[in-house]
Amino acid sequence: MKHFVYVLKSQIHWRFYVGMTTNVDKRVGEHNRGYTKSTKAYRPWVLFFFEEYETREEARKREIYLKSGIGKEKNKEFWSRSSAG
Q: Coil, strand or helix: which one is 11?
A: coil
* CATH, residue 68: 3.40.1440
Give the DSSP H/E element, type plus range, for residue 52. Answer: strand 45-53
User: Could you report the per-residue pLDDT of 18-69, keeping only the tens digit for each?
Assistant: 999 999 999 999 999 999 999 999 999 999 999 999 999 999 999 999 999 8
User: Cα–Cα distance between 35 and 29 in angstroms, integer?
Assistant: 9
Q: Are 39 and 8 in contact (CB under 8 A)?
A: yes
Count of structural domains within the chain: 1
Determine the structural domain holding residue 46 and report its residue range.
3-81
Supply the pTM of this predicted model.
0.86
The reported pLDDT for the residue numbered 71 is 83
